[in-house]
Amino acid sequence: MTIKLNSDKFKMTNFSEKREVFINLVNTKAEQSEQDAAYMDMVNAMADDARLAAEDAADKKFNELSNFANKGLSAEEVKFFNAIDTAVGYKEETLLPQTTIDKIFEDLIAERPFLQEIGLQTTGLRMRILKSDPSGQAVWGKIFGEIKGQLDAAFSEEEINQSKLTAFVVVPNDLLAYGPVWVERFVRAQITEAFAIALEAAFVAGDGSDKPIGLNRQVQAGVTVTGGVYPVKAPTSTLTFADSATTVKELTAVMKALSVKEDGKLVNISGKAILLVNPADSWDVKSKYTSLNANGVYITALPFNLRVVESEFVTANQVIALVADRYDAYVGGGINVKAFDQTLALEDCMLYTAKQFAYGKAEDNTAAFVYTLDTTTPVA
């Protein structure tokens, strides 16, 4: 049985409201302290809504859970989540079982199309990125002549510093009696939602100060970084999608820009280019390239196999054009959990803090461009 956090009775109303506040603060580039406070309010609201949903579902499904036993969990998971029932006071930091971490990672990708598009990967706690830049040439000559051509590859190694992402999970004590299956899914649901929102916000618009460097930030060689904060990219030009000819012309310029690395070398971006837009703007964009074909069927298609992907963290009336595999996005290490049974004792709940490490940065400054979106331009 799964925990349906979006059931008819529990619409996660408090969480949705707090999430909108957090997203608005990120998009308006509010002070970091305001963003941090809003994020914690969002996690608190999610915990409250999830607790109500879980308690209601638990009351209705007691018999079902009794027969569910430990189906679907590994021995390591059963041991870990059974231990929650016997936790007393402060426990040493514990690593979630790898199988649960894998499920959380899969849920992150499934719930957030943007994270899937950029190829979010898991890795160890410490990372080094090894890059190569092949150069040289093959030389024609006589069959029995000397070998003249030489191919060189300049390798560079970059050790990166990951940022810590934290959240917390509240487990009502009444749920502990229903076994590790229930607790595991309850914990996983909350960690997944909290981490997914925070990761997407950082990968799209993170300023690089104790968080990943977002796609909307300048990362060119020699960029001025003040207090760990990378500057925001200015819009390159305006996309209107005014008519078919204009759309082809505008998107040709986008594709040409994305096809050249910062050092001037060409890169193949066929099938890899994405237009990242705010959900409120996505329908305006889609309406511009939706047409009725000869069979009376509406079709939606952009030139050059470009895909439109939505993210709440893209500023309204803007588009981020990017090459999917030219943004490095990683979550590293396991998810560490600490348990506290006194913090929420009056609420009859257990508190679990969770942390994860993440890294994100574009390969260079031409991996992504910001454009102004103006779909009000009339068709000529």
* Residue range 281-297, pLDDT digits in tens: 998 988 888 888 888 88
**C-alpha dist (Å) from residue 240 to 185, 281, 379:** 45, 12, 10
Structure letter (DSSP) for residue 315: P
Quick check: 337 and 301 in contact, CB under 8 A? no
CA angle, corner 213, sides to 212 and 214, nearest 5? 110
Which residue, among 279, 256, 276, has the nearest Cα to 266 in the 3D structure? 256
Cβ-based burial of 373 (10 A; exposed 0-12, middle 13-18, buried ≥19): buried
CA atoms in the 13 A half-sphere facing the CB of 167: 25
d(CA 65, CA 50): 18
Q: Which of 131-140, 300-309, 320-329, 355-364 has the lowest mean pLDDT?
A: 131-140
CA angle, corner 188, sides to 332 and 313, nearest 5? 65
Domain boundaries, the chain: 13-125+160-215+329-362, 238-327+366-373
* AA letter at 37: A
The predicted model scores a pTM of: 0.70
In this prediction, residues 350-372 reach a mean pLDDT of: 85
Q: Which residue has the higher pLDDT, 348 or 362?
A: 362
pLDDT, tens digit, for every residue of 195-235?
788 889 899 999 998 888 999 999 999 999 999 899 999 99
Quick check: 76 and 97 in contact, CB under 8 A? yes
Average pLDDT score, the chain: 75
Spell out the residues 6+ positions from residue 246 whose beta carbon is closer than 8 angstroms to its own. 240, 380
Two structure tokens written together for 147:
């070998």
pLDDT, tens digit, for every residue of 163-203?
777 666 666 666 666 666 666 666 777 777 777 888 898 99
pLDDT, tens digit, for every residue of 79-90?
666 665 444 333
Cβ-based burial of 264 (10 A; exposed 0-12, middle 13-18, buried ≥19): exposed
DSSP-assigned beta bridge partners for residue 213? 207
CATH architecture of the domain with residue range 238-327+366-373: 2-Layer Sandwich (3.30)
Could you report how far apart the first and last alpha carbons of the chain are, in Å? 56
